Amino acid sequence: MQIEHWHEERDGPLTEQALRDKIARRGYLVSRYVYPPGTYFPAHVHGVDKIDAVVSGRFRMTMGGQEVVLEAGDLLVVPRHAMHTAEVVGDEAVVSLDAKRMR
């Protein structure tokens, strides 16, 4: 799994706009979603390369037999056709930046 964490020394203060800009500079179209507690996405794939990033809350992602809990400032690269699941962890909604690579 390709996971990246926000590093304030390198990336500056974490804001939603700063995280959005970081992803967009890589050639991704970024959309914002809010997922309430209890949200679960069963195993699925996408036909495009994606990045799932967390602005706030905790998001459990599984892919390739590995599991990670993403928190504020974390992002996960999801290659096209990679089977994965996602689940909101805890009682706080997840504010997510869902990004698709532009072709």
Q: Work out the burial of residue 35: count CB atoms within 10 Å of its CB; fewer than 13 is exposed, 13-18 middle, 19 or more buried.
A: middle
| Residue 40 identity (one-letter amino acid) | Y
- Position 6 scores a pLDDT of 97
**Is-contact 47 103, C-beta < 8 A?**
no
- Position 103 scores a pLDDT of 66
Q: What is the DSSP letter of 23?
A: H
Split the chain (103 residues) into runs of 10 and give each run's mean pLDDT. Answer: 94 96 96 97 96 98 96 97 97 97 81
For the chain, the helix, strand and coil percentages under 3-state DSSP, each to the nearest 5: 15, 50, 40
Among 2.60.120.10, 1.10.443.10, 3.40.50.1820, 3.10.20.30, name the CATH number for the domain at 2-101. Answer: 2.60.120.10
